Amino acid sequence: MNTTGFVECDDRNVAGTSLRPIHYLGNKSRYLDAIEHAIDSVAPRSATACDLFAGTAVVTRRLALRRDVISADVQAYSSVLARALTTPRAFTSQEVDQILGIAADWLDAARPSTQELIDHEEQAEARAHADPGALAELIEAGSFVLNSSRSPALESAKRRAQRYLDPEGAALTWSYGGTYFSFRQALELDAVRHALRATSGEAPSTTATAALLGVASDVVSTVGNHFAQPVRPRRTDGTLKHGWVASVLRSRRLSVFHGFAERLAEYSRLSPATHECITTTSDYRDTLARFGPEIGVVYADPPYTRDHYSRFYHVLETMVLDDDPGVASAQGSSAPSRGLYREQRHQSPFSIRSQVRP
């Protein structure tokens, strides 16, 4: 087996050949030419390549246009992205309308219980430039798993919404509403998740799921569009910072329904890969043990900092696993982690100094 490096090169975003599925740290879209050239220099096109830490699977897609690929990552969302990028499904306008129609019906059914919450949020957003305190409170204590709000109005609205919503059927609203997304956006994300289950059964289309992951990555109101932690609206002394309101409001005005339809359209314009792509959700050691004889060349781009990638994309993992994620406690505390991380979250040995071999 061989591993390869890469050098910087220009991005080629040719229509029908490439798509950035989510916002991602260390995204390799700009280096695809160099990566492909390096792999071609050590293995013939007849050899199967293994994208061992696939992440967004943009490398997987590029390689699958020329050779068979095994796309591996320990995170489940990566396999969804790999399948969507290599075998995209084109949804008709009628199918999109059906999905969004079912989602709208779900929102209508939830409205009597959630309207108080939406009204409170809209009022906080409307006065945020003059008085950002209420919006800051939503970010800091909006999640249903938190009970630290100093606002009786917010707590009342949350209690009423909880009469209808539950942490599995509405996981994004329950755990991440107010913090990473506006409550309106979180409800819309949960509504589309419900619609995908209703139209596809136990196995929603990977293309539709990937499109929804992309929307969540687009609308999240954080620096860098990831999920490592919500915005910090206050200084350590409790006073409000300046400069965060405009960007948060800009993100929270984005429509999930509109973004979902746009993402589906992007995938429909994506040409399928011409070679086989096998996806696996597994640790890199298990992948190599399982597929070793079939692999002709390995492209390995493991984590290289102390920050675990699962910390940045745990919300996307919850969307793919479609479960009640729970919330892990902060280190050395019984309080919920500030990032509202999943209780079960992968910890990579590549990001733990004591486990890294020189």
DSSP letter string, 43-100: S-TTSEEEETT-TT-HHHHHHHTTS-EEEEESSHHHHHHHHHHHS--PPPHHHHHHHH
According to the 3-state scheme, what is the secondary structure of 177-196?
Answer: ECCCECHHHHHHHHHHHHHH
Q: Cα-Cα-Cα-Cα dihedral of 286, 352, 22, 323, to 10°?
A: 70
More confident residue, 96 or 12: 96
Contacts 24+ apart (CB under 8 A), 128-137: 128/245, 128/248, 128/249, 129/245, 129/246, 132/233, 132/240, 132/244, 132/245, 133/240, 135/233, 135/245, 135/248, 135/249, 136/233, 136/234, 136/240
In the chain, what percentage of residues exceed pLDDT 90? 70
Report, as an integer, the average pLDDT of 316-327. Answer: 88
Token output for 356: 């890294």
pLDDT tens digit string along 241-293? Answer: 989 999 999 999 999 999 999 999 999 999 999 999 999 999 989 999 999 88
Q: Sign of dihedral through CA atoms 256, 171, 24, 234?
A: positive
Helix (H) or strand (E) holding 298: strand 295-299
At 152, is the secondary structure helix, strand, or coil? helix
Q: Give the confidence band of 3 by pLDDT, cuts at 50, 70, 90.
A: very low
Sheet holding 277-281: strands in order across? 277-281, 69-73, 48-51, 295-299
pLDDT tens digit string along 46-70? Answer: 999 999 999 999 999 999 999 999 9
What is the reported pLDDT for 356? 59
Contact present, 259 and 22 (Cβ < 8 Å): no
Which of 27, 33, 35 shows the shortest CA–CA distance to 56? 27
Q: Which of 2-16, 17-31, 156-170, 326-340 has the lowest mean pLDDT?
A: 2-16
Contact present, 33 and 12 (Cβ < 8 Å): yes
Residue 1 has pLDDT above 60, yes or no: no
Pinpoint the alpha helices (H) of the chain. Answer: 32-42, 58-64, 76-86, 93-126, 133-141, 152-162, 171-176, 183-200, 206-219, 245-252, 256-268, 284-291, 309-321
Q: What are phi and psi of 298, to 5 degrees?
A: -115, 130
Q: Give the confidence band of 349 by pLDDT, cuts at 50, 70, 90.
A: low
Please state, in angstroms and rounded to a whole number, the distance separating the CA atoms of residues 22 and 30.
14
Name the DSSP letter for residue 223: G
Token output for 92: 């008709």
Which of 215, 217, 214, 171 shows the shortest CA–CA distance to 190? 171
Token output for 69: 């690929």
Which of 189, 174, 179 shows the shortest CA–CA distance to 144? 174
Please state, in angstroms and rounded to a whole number, the distance separating the CA atoms of residues 79 and 281.
6
Contact present, 1 and 297 (Cβ < 8 Å): yes
What is the reported pLDDT for 294? 87
Please state, in angstroms and rounded to a whole number, the distance separating the CA atoms of residues 59 and 30.
10
Contacts of 122 (CB under 8 A, 6+ apart): none
More confident residue, 2 or 213: 213
Q: Exposed (0-12), middle (13-18) or buried (19+): which is 87, by Cβ within 10 Å?
A: middle
Which of 10, 83, 11, 5 shows the shortest CA–CA distance to 37? 5
Mean pLDDT for the chain?
Answer: 88
